[in-house]
Structure 1
Amino acid sequence: MNDAFKALADPTRRRILELLAESEKNAGDIADYFNISKPSISHHLSILKNADLISDERQGQNIVYTLNTTIFQDLVKWFFDFTKKEGIGGDESE
C-alpha cells in the first residue's frame, strides 16, 4: 500500500487516474491530455502499474490501461479504519 500512496502523491499520476476512471485508454490517448513527453507518460504509467493502481492489457498493437478498483477499495477501507480508530471526523464515543 505504501507504493500506492507514493504514486498518488504526484498530480500528474492523479490526473491519469481520473482519466482512466472515465474509460480505458492507451498511452497515446493519455499523453494527449498532457504537455509532457511520451517517455514521461510511460514512466508515470509504470509507477501506477507497479503500485497496482492500474492494469494493462495488450489489444492488437496497443496496450490499454484500466483502473484497478480493488486497490482503491483497500485504500478507502484503510482510511475508514484509520479515522475510526483515531476518532478523526467521527463520534469518539463509539
Structure 2
Amino acid sequence: MNESVFKAMADPTRRKIVELLKQGPKTAGEIADHFTHAQPTVSRHLSVLKNAGLVVDQREGTFIVYRLNTTILQEWLAWLLEHFGGDQKHEKK
C-alpha cells in the first residue's frame, strides 16, 4: 500500500475534500467554497491528494476539474478492511 495515501487521508481537510468529490467532479473554487482556508491552502491539499493518486484533474476550458480516482480509494479501503476489518473467525467472543 502506498504510504502517500495514508498521509493524504490523515488530514481532516483532505478527507472532507474526498467527501465533496464523492458527490461529483468539482473545480478548485467549488471545493474552496466549503472551507475557510485560503485558495492556496486548498490547492496544496488537492496537490497532496493528487500525488497520492486519490484525485485526478482535467482541464476544461479555463478551469481544472477534480475527480476522485475511485480505483485507488477502493484499493485503500480494501487494504484497511483486510488488515483492520475484524475477521470474525479470529475474534474472541
TM-score by length of 1: 0.89
Distance 1:38 1:77 in 2: 32
Identity of aligned residues (%): 48
Deviation readout 1:20-63 (Å, 9 max, x if unpaired):
00010000000100001000000000000000000000000000
Corresponding pairs, count: 90
Structure-2 residue corresponding to 1:65 = 66
Structure-2 residue corresponding to 1:91 = 89
Misfit runs of 4+, over 3 Å:
none
Structure-2 residue corresponding to 1:37 = 38
5 Å-filtered alignment, 1:14-53, equals: 14-53=15-54
- The 3-state SS of whatever aligns with 2:89 is coil
Structure-2 residue corresponding to 1:6 = 7
Using the TM superposition, give the Cα deviation of residue 73 of structure 1 relative to its aligned residue in structure 2, in angstroms: 1.4
Backbone CA RMSD of aligned residues: 1.5
- The 3-state SS of whatever aligns with 1:56 is strand
